[in-house]
Amino acid sequence: MEKTAIYPFTAIVGQEPMKKALILNVINPTLGGVLIRGEKGTAKSTAVRAVADLLPEMDQIEGCIFSCDPEDKSKMCEVCLEKVEKGIKLKIVKKKMKVVELPVSATEDRVVGTLDIEHAIKKGEKKFEPGILARANRNILYVDEVNLLDDHVVDVILDSAAMGVNTIEREGVSYSHPARFVLVGTMNPEEGDLRPQLLDRFGLVVDVTGEKKPEDRVEIIKRRLNFETDPHGFGKNFEPLQRELRQKIIEARKRLSGVKYSDKILELIAKICVTMGVDGHRADITMLKTAITIAAFKKKNEIAPQDVIEAAHLVLPHRMRKKPFEKGVLDFSKVEEIANEFAV
Amino acid sequence: MNLLFKKFVYPFSAVVGQKKLKTAVILNLINPSIGGVLISGEKGTAKSTLVRGLVALVPELDIIEVPLNITEDRLIGTIDIEKAITTGKRYFEPGLLAKAHGNVLYVDEVNLLSDNIVNCLLDVCQSGVNKVEREGISYTHEARFVLIGTMNPEEGMLSTQFLDRFGMYVKTEGCNDISERKEILRRRMEYETNPQRFIARYEAEAKKLQHEIAIAAKLLETIEVDDSIMRLAADIATQKNCAGHRADIIMVEAAKALAAWRQRKHVTIKDVIEVAEFVLPHRAREMSNAEWGQTGREEGDHEKNKNNREEKGKALPDESDAKNENYNSRQSKTTACPETGNSAGNTKKEETSRAKNGRADDTEQFLDNINKDNVQQPESIFKVIPINVSPIDRIKRKGSGKRTSTKSETPRGRYVRYRFPVDRPKDIAFDATLRAAAPYQNTRDRRGNAVAIEKQDFREKVREKRVGNIILFVVDASGSMGARERMKVTKGAILSLLNDAYQKRDMVGMVAFRKNKAEVLLNITRSVDLAMKCLKDLPTGGRTPLSAGLLVGYEILKARKIKDPEMVPLFVLVSDGRANVSLSGDDPVKEAKEIAARIAAEKMNPLVIDTEDEFLSLGIAKEVADAMGARYYKINDLKAGNIEHIVREMSNSR
C-alpha cells in the first residue's frame, strides 16, 4: 500500500500553542499527553499526524505487537523480556511513531483487548487478542472527540495512561502489557465537558481557535490547495524546515536528562500550584517536567522562571476549579505575580 | 500483579507525608482481620502509588489488582475451556478471588466498578467463601483477603453496604506545605530518571519497615484486650450510631494491631481512640453523605478530642462521659454547618463574610441583596429520607419484557456477564458461548477446527450502564432568592435531593439563572459531589431571567434524551417565580409559561419547588408549574420532611 502523503508539520500556519504542546510531548512522552479544545477545522488531526511523521525512526523489537524498546527492560512486554533474560538475540527494526486512532464508537473489548475468537475455535486454546492500547504502546493514541466517548471506555484508557500498563481480566483472558503512549485528545467544549478527574489525567491542554488574521487565512487556503495538487512537491519545499525541526527535537531529547533546576524553581512551582488551588500533586509534577522539556527545546541546560510560566500556561487551565458565574479562565496575572516576587 | 511491573514500583516508604494512610495500611498488614481500607481523596494524592508500593514492602503477600474492565468470569472463576475441549470434562479455572485468598485484593477507582462486580465482591466479602455455580461447574473455595480500594469522591459514592465491607476509611489530601511539595517533586523526578537507583536508595528503609511489621504481626496474638477496652469500643460505636457490631469488632482488632505496632502488650484507651478515626467515618450513620467531603475536618476535630481526653486522665467512667459530651458537641457542629470543610480554597473566607452580610434579616438589606452578589451557605441538610427515584427505571425494565430486548440492541455499556438469548443472539458473548460448547467437543463433528459451536451454545452479553436517572436542577439565583435567607433553605433542600441522588447513582446537572442569563453550572455528570460544590459556591443577586433558565434546562435534557433514550429525566425547577427578564423582550412571565409548555410536551417529569414567601405571594411559580404539567411544592412542604412522600407519589404515578 502506498503511503498517503502527510501534510508537513512545519507548513501548518499559526496554532503555535498546539504545535508547541505536541512537540513537547514527543520530546518527552512522560508529560502525559495533550488535550486540544476547540472548534472543528482547526488543523487538530492534521497536526497530530504531521508531528508523528516529523519524528525520526525509533528502534523496535521486530514482530512485537507492543513495539517494545530493545534498550529498556523496565518497559518491555513479557515475551520480549523473557527473550532478553534468556539471552536470545532480538532483531531490531526501525519504525516511525504511529498515530493509533480511537474511534468514538470503540467498544471496551476493542480498546483493552479480548479473547482471540479465531484461535479459540481453531486450536481450542485461549489467546489474548491485543486491542488498541497494545498498538498504542510507544506511539501516539489519538482520541478524537474524547468527550463523546462512553465513560467507561475513557476510564480504562486513562487508567492505562496513568499506569503505563494495561491489565486485562475479561472474557476468559488474563493479561498485562505495557501501554505507554502519548495521549492526544480533542474535544469541542460546546458538545459537553469532560469530568474533572479525566481532565486532570491529560498533562497539557491547549485551546485552539481558527486564525483570525485575513492574511493567515489566505495562506492556509493557499498551502492546502498546493498540497492537494502536488503533495510530494509541497513536501519537498518544506523538507529543509522539517529537517531543522526534527534535528531540534532529537537534540532536545538528548538534553532532557541533563536539564538542571534549582531549589528555587521547585519552590516557584509549588507556590504557583498552592496559590492557584489545584487538586493533588499531578500539576506540580507535570509543570516541572514541562518546564524541563521547554528548556531542553530552547537548547538550555537549566530552567529559568520564564520556562515555568510558559509551562504553567499549558498545565494549569484545565486544573482550575470553576465556580458558578465565574469564568473558568485562569487568572494568569496571579502566576506572573508569584514569578515576579520570586525574581526579586 | 504482573511480575514485570513489580520490580519497578515506587517504594512505599518514599511517599512523602500521608501518615494516616500509611498507618491504616500497615495496621491492615499486621492484622488482616481489620478487613481492609478504603482510600478516598482528590486526584493526584498518591493513593494508588502507595497501594502499589506495598508489593515491594511485603514480598510474601501478593497484590491482586482488579482492573475496571473485569468480567464476572475472571473474578469468580469459571470452567477451564482448554481442558474441557481436550478431555470433555469440566474443571474449575480459578479467578482473581482464588488468587486473592490470603493476599490483598486491590481495586483502583472502586466507585467506578460495575454494579454486578460489586455485588459479587460483596457476597464473597460477607461469607469469606466463593461459591461458584455456573456453566456446569460447582466449586467452592475460601476467599479471605485484605480489601483495599481507592476512590475519588467526586466520581460518586459507594453503597453503604459496600462501604461497610471496608474495615477502615482514610481520606487523603494534597499538602499545601511548600517544602513538602518540593520534596514530592524532587523524589518523583528522581524516581523517573532512574527507578532502579531510587528504589535501591529506599531499600534499607523498606527492609526495616518490613521487619517491624513482621514483629508486630507476631506480637499480635499475645496482645491482651481488657473488658473496659471492649466497652469503650462498643460505647463509641453506639454513640456514633453504627449499624451492627462490625465497627466495635474492627475497632478492637485495629487497636490490637496498633498496640502491636507500638510494641506494647496491652491495648490502651488511646489506641482505641486513635483507630476510631479510621473505623468510624464511613459507618457513623448520623453523618450524611453530604458531609463526606468534610471528613478531613472531622478528623481534625478528633485530634482535639483526643487531646482533651488525654488531659483528663485515665479514669474510665469519667472518660466515657466526657467522650459523650465531645461526640455530642461534634455532631451538632457538623450538622449545623456542613459547609465548613468545603475546600473552596482561598476565596472561602471572603465568601463567608459576604454570606454573613446576606444573613442579616433586614428589610433594607432586602433591596440591597437584589443587586448585590452574595453567597449564602446552605442550611443544615434535612434528615435524609430515601427518595426513590431510580425504581422508576427498574420497574420499566423488568415490567415490560418486550421493551428489554429493544434496549439490549444497543451494544453499549460495559459487558459484565452473559445470558441465554431469548430470540436470535445479537450481541454474542463469545467467551461464554465457548465455555458452553467446550465440554461437548469430543462428540461433535468439528470439521478440522478445535471447537464446533452449535445453536444451543450461544450466549448473549449483558451490558451494564452505570446510571439511574438524570436529575437536572434549574435554580433561581436572583436577588429575590437571597432575601430573608431563602437561599439557605433552598440550598438545604437541593442538597437533600442531591444526597439522595448520591446513593441512587443518579446523574445530576445544574443550571442557575440570574441577572440576565442562565448558566450551565454543571453538565450532566455522575459526580454529585461536584454538584454540591457548585451549589455551595452559588452566589445570588440580580434579576430573574426565568425563561432563560427554563430554556437552557429544556435544551440540555432534550439533547440528552436523543443521546440516551433510555434515560428517565427529572426536571427540577427551584424558583420563586418572580420572572422579570425575558429573552425576547415580551412579558417575562408569559414567555416562561410558553417554554414551560414545551417542557410539558417533552415529558421531562417536571417538579417545581416554590420558594416564594408566603405573605408576599404572587403565585407565579404555581402558574408556571401548571403550564409545565409539573408537580408543585412549596419549599416549606419539603422542609417538613415530606420529601419521601413526594417522590413516592412521583414514582407511583409513572
Mean pLDDT of B168-197: 88
pLDDT, tens digit, for every residue of A77-131? 888 888 888 888 888 888 888 899 988 778 888 888 888 888 888 887 888 888 9
Kind and range of the H or E element at B53? helix B47-57
Q: Which of B9, B40, B43, B517 to mutate to test the interface with A (most CBs of A within 10 A)?
A: B43
Cβ-count burial of B285 within 10 angstroms (0-12 exposed, 13-18 middle, 19+ buried)? exposed
Instruction: Return the number of CB contacts < 8 Å for A and B.
Output: 199
d(CA B579, CA B590): 9
CA distances from B634 to B490, B569, B575 (A): 11, 21, 10
* Candidate from A117, A170, A324 with C-beta closest to B71: A170
The alpha-carbon gap from A217 to the nearest alpha carbon of chain B, in Å, equals 33
Give every CB contact of residue A223 below 8 A, 6+ residues apart in sequence: A11, A13, A234
Beta carbons of A171 and B430 less than 8 Å apart? yes
A171 to chain B, closest Cα gap in Å:
5
Query: Residue B78 and residue A124: Cβ atoms within 8 Å?
Result: no
User: What are the DSSP calls for A97-151, one per residue?
Assistant: PPEEEE-TT--HHHHH-EE-HHHHHHHS---EE--HHHHHTTSEEEETTGGGS-H
- Which chain B residues are closer than 8 Å to A195 by Cβ? 154-155, 525-527
Q: Is A3 on the interface with B (CB under 8 A)?
A: no
Sorting pLDDT into bands at 50, 70 and 90, what band is B391?
A: very low
- Residues of B whose CB is below 8 A from A159: 67-68, 108-109
In this prediction, residue A317 carries a pLDDT of 85
Average pLDDT of every residue of chain B: 73
Task: Please give the pLDDT value at position A204.
Answer: 94
B330 SS3 class: helix
Return residue ranges of chain B for CATH 3.40.50.410: 362-390+467-652
| Contact status, residue B623 vs residue B493, Cβ threshold 8 Å | no
Please return the burial class of A248, using the count of CB atoms within 10 Å of its CB with bins 0-12, 13-18 and 19+: middle
> Residues of A with CB below 8 A from B377's CB?
none
Question: Which tens digit of pLDDT belongs to each residue from B57-113?
Answer: 877 788 888 888 888 888 988 888 888 887 878 888 888 999 999 888 999 888 888
Give chain B's radius of gyration (CA, Å).
28
* Interface ipTM above 0.85: no
Closest CA to A261 of B204, B447, B189, B10: B189
Q: Which residues of B touch A271 (CB under 8 A)?
A: 178
Map grid coordinates 488511646 to a residue: B270
Predicted confidence at residue A343, as pLDDT, reads 64
The pLDDT tens digits for B239-296 are 877 777 888 889 999 999 999 999 988 888 888 889 988 988 888 764 433 333 333 3
Q: Is B451 on the interface with A (CB under 8 A)?
A: yes
**Nearest-CA distance A214 → chain B (Å):** 33
Minimum Cα–Cα distance from B196: chain A residue: A74
- With CA atoms as reference, the chain A residue closest to B514 would be A325
Closest partner CB to B178 (pick from A151, A162, A271): A271
Whether A334 contacts B529, CB under 8 Å: no
A115 with B431: Cβ contact below 8 A: yes
Cβ of A271 within 8 Å of Cβ of B512? The answer is no
Stronger pLDDT, B562 or A215, i.e. the higher one:
A215
- Smallest CA–CA distance, residue B181 to chain A, in Å, is 6
- Looking at residue B58, what is its pLDDT? 79
- Highest mean pLDDT: which of A323-327, B201-205, B430-434? B201-205
Torsion-angle region of B511 (φ positive above 0: left; ψ -120 to 50: alpha; else: beta): beta
> Inter-chain contact B86–A171, Cβ cutoff 8 Å?
no
Residue B313 in this model has a pLDDT that exceeds 70: no
Residues 179-218 of A with CB under 8 A from B: 192-193, 195-197, 200-201
Q: How far is B427 from chain A (nearest CA, A)?
A: 12
Question: B3-174: which CATH topology?
Answer: Rossmann fold (3.40.50)
A223 to chain B nearest CA, in Å? 38
Are A323 and A344 in contact, with CB atoms under 8 Å apart?
A: no
Tell me the C-alpha distance between B544 and B478, whole Å.
Answer: 5
pLDDT at residue B645 in the model: 54
Cβ separation of B449 and A122 shorter than 8 Å? yes
B94: nearest CA in chain A?
A172
Interchain pair A279, B449: CB under 8 A: no
Chain B nearest C-alpha distance from A38 (Å): 18
Q: B384 or B93, which is more confident?
A: B93
Pairing of strands A34-38, A182-187: parallel
The C-alpha cell at A82 is: 523473557
Pick from B82, B186, B466: CB nearest A126: B82
Residues 29-48 of A with CB under 8 A from B: 30
Q: Which residues of A touch B345 (CB under 8 A)?
A: 277, 321
Which residue in the list A110, A243, A282, A319 is annotated as catalytic? A282
Q: Is the pLDDT of residue B299 over 80?
A: no
Q: Are A274 and B176 in contact (CB < 8 Å)?
A: yes
Spell out which residues of chain B touch residue A321, defining contact as CB-CB under 8 Å: 345, 533
- pLDDT surpasses 90 at A311: yes
Instruction: Give the pLDDT score at B642.
Output: 56
Cα–Cα distance for residue pair B154/B2, rounded to 1 Å: 30
Task: Say whether pLDDT at A177 is over 50.
Answer: yes
Name which of B69, B342, B354, B415 to mutate to probe chain A: the one with the most chain A Cβ atoms within 10 A of its Cβ. Answer: B69
Q: What is the band of A20 on the pLDDT scale with cuts at 50, 70, 90?
A: very high
pLDDT of B463 reads 73
The model's pTM: 0.71
Would you please indicate which residues of B are annotated as catalytic (active-site) residues? Answer: 246
A252 alpha carbon, distance to own chain's centre: 16
A281–B449: do the CB atoms touch at under 8 Å? no
Residue range(s) in chain B whose domain bears CATH number 3.40.50.300: 3-174
- Residues of chain A contacting B74 with CB distance shorter than 8 Å: 169-174
Domains of chain A (ranges; CATH) run 263-343 (1.10.8.80)
Interface test with B, best of A266, A322, A330, A342 (most B CBs within 10 A): A266
Distance (Å) of CA B293 to CA B154, B171, B274, B509, B533: 9, 9, 21, 19, 10
Which CATH code for domain B362-390+467-652?
3.40.50.410
Out of B75, B411, B450, whose CB is closest to A123?
B450
CA B441, chain centre distance (Å):
46
For an interface test with B, the pick among A108, A268, A273 (most B C-beta atoms closer than 10 Å) comes out as A108
Among B604, B546, B532, B535, residue whose Cα is nearest residue B576: B546
Instruction: Tell me the CA end-to-end span of chain B in Å, nearest whole number.
Output: 48
**Chain B residues touching A30 at Cβ < 8 A:** 192
Q: Does A58 touch chain B (CB under 8 A)?
A: no
Among the listed residues B34, B102, B36, B39, the one whose alpha carbon sits nearest the alpha carbon of residue B249? B34
Chain A 239-258, residues with CB within 8 Å of chain B CB atoms? 257
Q: Using CB atoms, pick whichever of B48, B414, B430 lies closest to residue A115.
A: B430
Kindly determine whether residue A122 and residue B65, on different chains, have CB atoms separated by under 8 Å: no
Q: How far is CA A243 from the centre of its chain?
A: 21
Q: Please say if the pLDDT value at position B315 is more than 80.
A: no
Q: How far is B458 from chain A (nearest CA, A)?
A: 14
From A213's Cα to the closest Cα of chain B, the distance in A is 31
The residue with greater pLDDT, A334 or B119, is: B119
CB of A288 less than 8 A from some CB of B: yes
Q: Which residue has the higher pLDDT, B335 or B165?
A: B165
Q: Does B178 touch chain A (CB under 8 A)?
A: yes
**What's the pLDDT tens digit per position in A257-277?**
899 999 999 999 998 888 887
B617 in contact with chain A, both atoms CB, cutoff 8 A? no
Chain B interface includes A150 (CB < 8 A): yes
